[in-house]
Amino acid sequence: MQNENEAFARLQELMDALPSMEKKGARLAKARAAREALAKVRYRDGQAAEAARIRTRVEEAQCSLEAAKADADADDEVRVRGLVLALSNQLAIREGAAFDAARQAESALAAGQFATEADAWAAQLGDDEFAALESEVEEFKAEYAATLETCRAIYPED
């Protein structure tokens, strides 16, 4: 167990380090917000790409439908019309998902106070750097809380 002088000296050291750790905590929070926002951006991009892929398939099926009509092939026309309807339904669902994903991405960027996606990319940290910073901040918080509690136990408030 620490003696009184050691406990209060350590608390003073931690208090002196507090401004620096607050900056690191803010950096960590910004990096965390960037990760969250960019995950939504990537999801948005994936939904948009899938919608574009389905849109191409709808256009191809519509061309096939026109060809079936031109050939007066009733069986093929019915089959391709069903394909066009199914693909159009998939497209509508995917476009809805893409719209929602875009809204969520914009919301996450705004919540992280990023003016642009580039700002979010710039605020990102690599996995190792993120983990190290997160560990450092959490260890500081834990040590600060424990040292403060030790000092309070030495001179309890009545």
CA 49, 50, 55: angle at the middle one, nearest 5? 95
| pTM for this predicted structure | 0.78
Alpha-carbon radius of gyration of the chain: 29
pLDDT for 121 beyond 50: yes
pLDDT for 116 beyond 50: yes
pLDDT for 1 beyond 90: no
* 143 touches 14 (CB < 8 A): yes
Domain boundaries, the chain: 4-154
Please tell me the distance from the alpha carbon of residue 148 to that of residue 151, in angstroms, as a whole number: 5
Segment 81-96 shows an average pLDDT of 97
pLDDT for 157 beyond 80: no
Segment 10-24 shows an average pLDDT of 96
Please tell me the distance from the alpha carbon of residue 85 to that of residue 114, in angstroms, as a whole number: 40
